[in-house]
Amino acid sequence: MKLSLHTNTLSSALLALALAGTAPAPAAAATPAAHSKAKAKKAKPAKAVPAKKTDYEGEFVNFGQWKEVGQFLDEMAAKHGFDRKELEATMMQVRYVDSAVQLMKPAPPGKPKNWQAYSKLFIEPVRINGGVKFWNENREALARAEALYGVPAEIIVGIIGVETVYGSNTGRFRVMDALTTLAFAYPLAPAREARMAFFKGELESTLLYARQAGIDPFSLLGSYAGAVGLPQFMPSNIMKYAVDFDGNGRVDLRNSPTDAIGSVAAFLVAHGWRRDDPGPLVYAATVSPSRQWERFINQGLEAKFRPQDLMSAGVVTTSTLPEGMNFGLVDLQNGSEPTEFWLGSNNFFSITQYNRSYFYAMSVLELGRAIKLSRRDL
């Protein structure tokens, strides 16, 4: 299982730290600013919400003078019709963010991967109680998304809870700063060139999205990797998968829980979610001492193995598996404790396309399940 940088998520930092055995406790939830109420006699416009401060000062390095940046600006002007001088003026406002570079460096060797330790970061009272509140406040949008896309409410709520604690922690990096820094000053690491190309593509999408939405690109705040809003979509995914689910004529993943809900569901469907898949997303399994099953480990994030082939290699489940479905073998390492094994369905692996991690997908399932049970107990 590898941590991919091609994610939507603010939770990637926690994931990297948790896998190294050094994860901090999750941040406490904060209450979003409410809309101002109109007075009876004379309605007043909603109060402007002060812009959040960033978590860094940033350093001016004159990105516009860098040869690679100049080539990028030339491409943006030729390919998308941007004014070259306006782009130069935009780059003059960009700041180098060393903290983003440091967070992208490979984690130092640490403790073994530990699912139980990782899951405690996300299956905890703040996220469970916040999830109950978020579900109750957005029940109509969640029901509509489930009906339209076939994605259960607990999966959508689980993702938003893991990502940003329902919008209370969406990130405080200027997306333009983070993406420019990572596109042109990525730290020395394996596949550095490919990762720089990825972030350059995200910078391109940021400029296109800002132009299309009619917003200042510097108004976009997000994670150290450039992910935006309640569901932590990368800019390219906003362009491809975000939907105007509240019907107000614009997509707003930063301030509209309804748009976030619809967009999460749309993303999962675009990445293979099937409404007609029966049964649970995962089935508990055990493996034989023969270790023939090891050939099914780390074979890609997809359900592509027939149950009979898994069983013949020593994978056993006490549950009756649905007919006609394939599965993938999921290993959740627990440090010095025994590894947990599960059979993941197609829909389980669609969640791993949101963040390419078994730990992440299982956290979404467990958090969603805990929230659903808590709502029943009320």
Three-state secondary-structure class, residue 315? strand
Residue 91 makes CB contacts below 8 A (sequence gap 6+) with: 63, 64, 69, 73, 180
| 120 alpha carbon, distance to own chain's centre | 18
Residue 278 is predicted with a pLDDT of 85
Q: How far is the C-alpha of 213 from the C-alpha of 251, rounded, in Å?
A: 8
Which of 33-42, 95-104, 119-128, 330-339 has the weakest average pLDDT?
A: 33-42
Residue 341: what are its φ and ψ, rounded to 5°? -120, 140
pTM, rounded to two decimals: 0.86
Residue 284: what are its φ and ψ, rounded to 5°? -60, 140
Mean pLDDT confidence for 152-165: 98
Among the residues of 214-294, which ranges form H helices?
A: 235-241, 257-270
**In angstroms, what is the C-alpha Rg of the chain?**
22
Mean pLDDT confidence for 208-228: 97
What the block records as the tokens of 258 is 């309804």
Three-state secondary-structure class, residue 310? helix
| 85 alpha carbon, distance to own chain's centre | 34
What's at 231, amino acid-wise? P
Residue 376 is predicted with a pLDDT of 87
Q: How far is the C-alpha of 172 from the C-alpha of 54, rounded, in Å?
A: 5
Mean pLDDT confidence for 173-192: 96
Residue 234 predicted with pLDDT over 80:
yes
Residue 103 makes CB contacts below 8 A (sequence gap 6+) with: 13, 16, 224, 225
* Catalytic entry in 86, 137, 140, 163: 163
pLDDT per residue as tens digits for the range 81-110: 999 999 999 999 999 999 999 999 987 777
Three-state secondary-structure class, residue 50? coil
Residue 51 predicted with pLDDT over 70:
no
- Report domain extents, the chain: 282-344
Q: How far is the C-alpha of 151 from the C-alpha of 264, rounded, in Å?
A: 9
pLDDT per residue as tens digits for the range 124-139: 999 999 999 999 999 9
* Local confidence band at 13 (pLDDT 50, 70, 90 cut-offs): very low
Q: Is 366 a catalytic residue?
A: no
Q: Provide the mean pLDDT of the chain.
A: 88
Q: How far is the C-alpha of 160 from the C-alpha of 166, rounded, in Å?
A: 5
Residue 23: what are its φ and ψ, rounded to 5°? -70, 140
